[in-house]
Amino acid sequence: MDDMAGDHPGAEVLLQGNEAMARGALEAGVAWASGYPGNPSSEIIETLARAASEKRLYVEWSVNEKVALEAAAAASFAGMRALATMKQNGVNVCLDALTSLALSGIKGGLVLIAADDPSSISSGNEEDSRFAAALAHLPLLEPATPQEAKDMVRFAFDLSERIGNICLVRSVSRLSHTRANVILGELPGGRGRPRFDTSRPFITLPAVPHHQVMYDKLDQAEAEFEESPFNHYEGPPKPDLMIAACGPSYLYAREAVEMLGLEDRTGILKLGTTYPLPQKFVAEHLAKAASVLVAEEIDPVLERSLKVLAAETGDRIGAKRFYGKRSGHVSPTGESGPGLVARALARIVGREFEPGDPDYRRRAAQVVDELVPPREFGFCPGCPHRASYWAIKQVLASDDRQGFVVGDVGCYTMGIWPTGFNQVKMAHAMGSGVGMSSGFGKLDAMGFAQPVISVVGDSTFFHAAIPALINATYNQAGFLLVVLDNAATAMTGFQPHPGTGVSVTGERLSRISIERICDAMGLEVTVCDPYDIESTTAVLRDRLRRLDTVRVIIMRRPCALVQGRADGFDYRMHVDENLCRGEECGCDRYCNRVFRCPGLVWDASSNRARIDEVICVGCGVCETVCPAGAIVKETI
Amino acid sequence: MTSLNLEPLNLIITGVGGQGNVLISQVLARALVGQGLKTTVGETFGLSQRGGSVQSHVRVSRNKIFGPLIPEGQAHAVLGLEPLETLRVMASYGQPDIQVLVNARPVQPLNVIAGQDRYPADEALLDALRGLAAKVWWLNATAEAQGLGAAIMANIVMLGALTATGIMPVEAKDLEEALAEVLADDRLEQNLAAFRRGLELID
């Protein structure tokens, strides 16, 4: 990580997009960085945290994205440069704060990096956070490469300070998680002390004049964007077709034009400042061609802005034919890529396009189709969630009231799939499961009698479940809350949270106890270890008996990946070949078919279940699964 | 080591979440950048690491940063940490001149474990790969890594093997330096041994 933080201006190093954005913030003299973890944004905060003590900046994982932005705003109000980072869902969480802050304005440069996830590679949704720019009247930058990501974040702080408002930077997974050469810039020297000027309050009222000020600030940003090095045109002076591209789609467009050999007919208008559009610059280049293909990811946001501009300037730049997501040349769902842009381009110019060697590709597709089964997502070997859902499954299956599980956001969302025995029947936003359970828990008066189990992770509990739990408790809703406490924000990379007792920069902090929060609401809490299937099942069965109020079970066991790195596991597992009766057993391969742990496989040659010693971590949970008792755990 | 005669050179590193795909793509890219080459690595993180397929796209150029995704049908080489995943990428990214290194140790998909799908026999996988690639190295990297004390180092064994093929324009010493920069001190010796074992696997 020395590469990211080193004071070597001009050095060319390999940086991940997220590291490059962190570097850009350091070059801008950032004093504060806060965020909530979420793919693909997490490494920005983690990278800054590693540099925190040397560069004297404060870095925190905040409890949620709204608090992250508000806390960063405080640093800005006190004159310091501050950064808030999050994934697309986080922008929704902080939106109320964002639109208010945009009205009041800010002082020290305040930058919000939102990392979107086209193709939902690691998200519960596929959402375009760029709408927030228009909604909150804030300038928006869209970097294409790690180099530009660094440079744009650096610039965003200056712009934010000059216009007195927040500046948004939008990344996507293929930028945040792309490593490439980055040439470092200079790191600043010292910086001032935070001080709040009491003669200059930050308030939203009177709202109407402030609303006008937001428009004025956007005009100021637009004037800067007219001269921005982040926008350029490349291609012939009079192209037949113009591709307007932003983010990594610029690189895809460049490669697509080369693949089709259309360099002499096609121009690329590379746009890095996409809201507000620099109207003069864009109109001047749009005037060059009658046809425009828009290359961008997720929703047609740039496409709409360009169409508005074309409508307003049509008398000067001529009528345009637009191709993109609205015309069906590019899909509005899923991530882009060089092949997808090439296909759109080929269709527009009336050419056939098949990537690579068509005969070979047909042959390869046939072989793969015949031989290669899909690989579904699953809990890791030793994952405590598998054990928790196993216990829940046993209890619900033996209860004739048709109970069900309301899910939430984290690794345990995978309870919707066979790896979690399809137990989870709904999953939405952070904390939503507890809110919905609060609703289910009040339907009894109308005759609803199905027991509801609400599962929520430890980090999600702190992030958004507490208000919902207060709501449920106060309004006397009845359900079983199961907190799956694995001592980490696991899905996004094991980040600490208020229940872990450690900060992102490694300081020891006082743990905030989930039990005591529940206790303060007057709720009965039981803690159990999900690896102990027998007692977990017994506790679940008992607590589900009567649900006239909220009852809480905390299933506590560290994430297997964390435990594997720390203390390791207690057992060595093996299948007793004499007890396992293979396919002759009436269980029909119960352990494989239903339990589905990647470490417990089928050995076709011996016709027996077998532990894959490379994959099994030794959690011991599967011991209870075999009806013949053939799975044996030995204490190491 | 070869000089860079493709523009760009496209390598896919593929495997299953948890096999250390990202680590070796990072080490390799560091060494390439150290040679003054423009290198782009598109990585898959997050949910895919929970048992799913994971790919890194490594693209190397003399003078230009390429996009993070290799166009379909344009991979020059595949470094496969798992046989099924290695064959899987051939459909989208393979072409007749592709060279393939594959770790022979399967990681069974959950649907195979559950008895709903079949994992092909070694010979069927190897035949299929040979039918689609100009050259295939079928390597027992996990077994070698187990012999050196930890199965998890199969990725480093494979990185060593890749280096020895001369497909990538880097030398073993560049990669050993990159490993030393990226790995914690207490893990370095063991991983260097794994890397050197990988070098020896290629004739």
Q: Please check whether residues A330 and A218 belong to one and the same domain.
A: no
Residues B67, A565: Cα–Cα separation, whole Å = 34
Q: Where does residue A328 rank: exposed (0-12), middle (13-18), buried (19+ CB within 10 A)?
A: exposed
Q: Please check whether residues A482 and A587 belong to one and the same domain.
A: no
Calculate mean pLDDT across residues B47-59. Answer: 84
- DSSP annotation of A588 reads S
pLDDT at B35 over 50: yes
Residue A494's closest chain B neighbor by CA? B46
Q: Please check whether residues A437 and A560 belong to one and the same domain.
A: yes
Q: In this structure, are residues A176 and A22 in contact, taking their beta carbons and an 8 Å threshold?
A: no
Q: Please check whether residues A467 and A532 belong to one and the same domain.
A: yes
pLDDT of residue A191: 86
Count CA atoms within 13 Å of residue A534 on its CB side: 3
Of B13, B109, B47, nearest to A120 by C-alpha is: B47
pLDDT of residue A1: 44
- Before A300, cis peptide (omega within 30)? no
Calculate mean pLDDT across residues A199-212. Answer: 96
Q: Which pair of tokens denotes residue A199?
A: 């003669």
Q: Please check whether residues A400 and A452 belong to one and the same domain.
A: yes
Residue B120's closest chain A neighbor by CA? A371
Residue A366 resides in a domain:
no
Chain B positions touching A365 (Cβ under 8 A) are 91
Type of residue found at A155: F
Residue A359 resides in a domain:
no
Q: Do A375 and B39 touch (CB under 8 A)?
A: no
Residues A283, A398: Cα–Cα separation, whole Å = 68
Chain segment A180-204, per-residue pLDDT in tens: 999 999 999 888 899 999 999 999 9
Q: Please check whether residues A344 and A430 belong to one and the same domain.
A: no
Q: Which pair of tokens denotes residue A460?
A: 């999600």
Q: Do B88 and A589 touch (CB under 8 A)?
A: no
| Distance (Å) of CA A582 to CA A539, A564, A604, A605, A632 | 33, 30, 10, 11, 15
- DSSP annotation of A489 reads B
φ, ψ of residue A487 in degrees (nearest 5):
60, 30
Q: Please check whether residues A552 and A585 belong to one and the same domain.
A: no
Chain segment A58-72, per-residue pLDDT in tens: 999 999 999 999 999
Residue A69's contacts (CB-CB under 8 Å, 6 or more residues apart) are A34, A84, A94, A97, A98, A101, A112
Q: Do A361 and B72 touch (CB under 8 A)?
A: yes
> For the domain that residue A594 is a member of, what is the CATH number?
3.30.70.20
Residues B105, B157: Cα–Cα separation, whole Å = 13
Residue A111 resides in a domain:
yes
- Nearest by CB to residue A414, choosing from B50, B90, B124, is B50
Residues A452, A406: Cα–Cα separation, whole Å = 7
Interface test with B, best of A260, A614, A616, A622 (most B CBs within 10 A): A614
How close does chain A come to B96, measured CA to CA in Å?
A: 7
- Nearest by CB to residue A179, choosing from B41, B53, B67, is B41
Q: Do B73 and A360 touch (CB under 8 A)?
A: yes
Q: In this structure, are residues B169 and B3 in contact, taking their beta carbons and an 8 Å threshold?
A: yes
> For the domain that residue A284 is a member of, what is the CATH number?
3.40.50.920
Q: Do B67 and A338 touch (CB under 8 A)?
A: yes
- DSSP annotation of A616 reads -
pLDDT at B3 over 90: no
Interface test with A, best of B56, B66, B69 (most A CBs within 10 A): B69
Q: Please check whether residues A244 and A206 belong to one and the same domain.
A: no
User: How many helices (DSSP H) and strands (DSSP E) are in chain B?
Assistant: 8, 6
- Before A381, cis peptide (omega within 30)? no
Q: What is the number of structural domains in chain A? A: 4
Interface test with A, best of B30, B37, B50, B112 (most A CBs within 10 A): B50
The reply to whether B119 touches chain A by the CB within 8 Å rule is yes
Beta strands (DSSP E) in A248-320 are 266-270, 273-275, 291-295
Residues B34, B181: Cα–Cα separation, whole Å = 12
Q: Please check whether residues A279 and A420 belong to one and the same domain.
A: no
- Mention the CATH class of domain B9-141+163-183: alpha beta
Residue A403 resides in a domain:
yes
Q: Do B113 and A592 touch (CB under 8 A)?
A: yes
Residue A446 resides in a domain:
yes
Residue A375 resides in a domain:
no
Residue A131's contacts (CB-CB under 8 Å, 6 or more residues apart) are A299, A301
Q: Do B48 and A375 touch (CB under 8 A)?
A: no
Residue B29's closest chain A neighbor by CA? A14
Q: Do B113 and A596 touch (CB under 8 A)?
A: yes
Calculate mean pLDDT across residues A536-546. Answer: 96
Number of CB pairs, chain A paired with chain B, less than 8 A apart: 205
Q: Do B46 and A254 touch (CB under 8 A)?
A: no
| Percent of chain A's residues with pLDDT above 70 | 100
> For the domain that residue A511 is a member of, what is the CATH number?
3.40.50.970
Q: Where does residue B96 rank: exposed (0-12), middle (13-18), buried (19+ CB within 10 A)?
A: middle
Residues A474, A358: Cα–Cα separation, whole Å = 65
Q: Do A380 and B42 touch (CB under 8 A)?
A: no
Residues A268, A231: Cα–Cα separation, whole Å = 10
pLDDT of residue A189: 87
How close does chain B come to A255, measured CA to CA in Å?
A: 8
pLDDT at B105 over 60: yes
What's the pLDDT band for B45 if we cut at 50, 70, 90?
A: low
What's the pLDDT band for A572 if we cut at 50, 70, 90?
A: very high
Q: Where does residue B84 rank: exposed (0-12), middle (13-18), buried (19+ CB within 10 A)?
A: buried
Kind and range of the H or E run holding B156: helix B154-165
Residue B98's closest chain A neighbor by CA? A360
- Nearest by CB to residue A375, choosing from B16, B41, B45, is B16
The reply to whether B149 touches chain A by the CB within 8 Å rule is no
Residue B108's closest chain A neighbor by CA? A598
Chain A positions touching B118 (Cβ under 8 A) are 373
pLDDT of residue A356: 86
The reply to whether B13 touches chain A by the CB within 8 Å rule is no
pLDDT of residue A5: 84
Q: How far apart are the first and last CA of chain B?
A: 14
Q: Please check whether residues A78 and A17 belong to one and the same domain.
A: yes
Q: Do B65 and A371 touch (CB under 8 A)?
A: no
Residues A304, A327: Cα–Cα separation, whole Å = 12
- Choosing from A536, A566, A596, the residue where a domain stops is A566
Chain segment A161-177, per-residue pLDDT in tens: 999 999 999 999 999 99
Chain segment A494-524, per-residue pLDDT in tens: 899 999 999 999 999 999 999 999 999 999 9
Interface test with A, best of B45, B56, B86, B97 (most A CBs within 10 A): B45
Chain B positions touching A363 (Cβ under 8 A) are 131-132
Chain segment A95-141, per-residue pLDDT in tens: 999 999 999 999 999 999 999 999 998 899 999 999 999 999 999 99
Residue B117's closest chain A neighbor by CA? A373
Angle at A383 between CA A378 and CA A386, to 5 degrees: 70
| Percent of chain A's residues with pLDDT above 90 | 92
Q: In this structure, are residues B18 and B84 in contact, taking their beta carbons and an 8 Å threshold?
A: no
User: How many helices (DSSP H) and strands (DSSP E) are in chain A?
Assistant: 23, 24
pLDDT of residue A604: 85
Chain segment A418-450, per-residue pLDDT in tens: 999 999 999 999 999 999 999 999 999 999 999
Chain A positions touching B71 (Cβ under 8 A) are 255, 259, 337-339, 342, 355-356
Type of residue found at B202: I
Residue A508 resides in a domain:
yes
- Nearest by CB to residue B39, choosing from A14, A372, A594, is A14
Interface of B with A in 18-77 (CB under 8 A): 18, 25-26, 29-30, 33, 38-48, 50-53, 65-69, 71-74
Chain A positions touching B30 (Cβ under 8 A) are 14
Of A428, A416, A461, A422, nearest to A556 by C-alpha is: A461
Q: Please check whether residues A92 and A201 belong to one and the same domain.
A: yes
Chain segment B127-159, per-residue pLDDT in tens: 999 999 999 999 999 999 999 999 999 999 999
Q: Please check whether residues A443 and A584 belong to one and the same domain.
A: no
| Distance (Å) of CA A348 to CA A25, A260, A271 | 41, 12, 21
Chain segment A240-295, per-residue pLDDT in tens: 999 999 999 999 999 999 999 999 999 999 999 999 999 999 999 999 999 999 99
How close does chain A come to B44, measured CA to CA in Å?
A: 7
Task: Give pTM, 2 decimals.
Answer: 0.97
Residues B26, B7: Cα–Cα separation, whole Å = 20
Chain segment A294-353, per-residue pLDDT in tens: 999 999 999 999 999 999 999 999 999 999 999 999 999 999 999 999 999 999 999 989
How close does chain B come to A179, measured CA to CA in Å?
A: 5
- Nearest by CB to residue A372, choosing from B29, B73, B87, is B87
Domain that holds residue A97: 2-225
- Nearest by CB to residue A374, choosing from B29, B46, B111, is B111
Of A480, A381, A409, nearest to A440 by C-alpha is: A480
Q: In this structure, are residues A470 and A433 in contact, taking their beta carbons and an 8 Å threshold?
A: no
Chain segment A350-381, per-residue pLDDT in tens: 998 988 889 999 999 999 999 999 999 999 99
Residues B150, A573: Cα–Cα separation, whole Å = 18
What's the pLDDT band for A2 if we cut at 50, 70, 90?
A: low
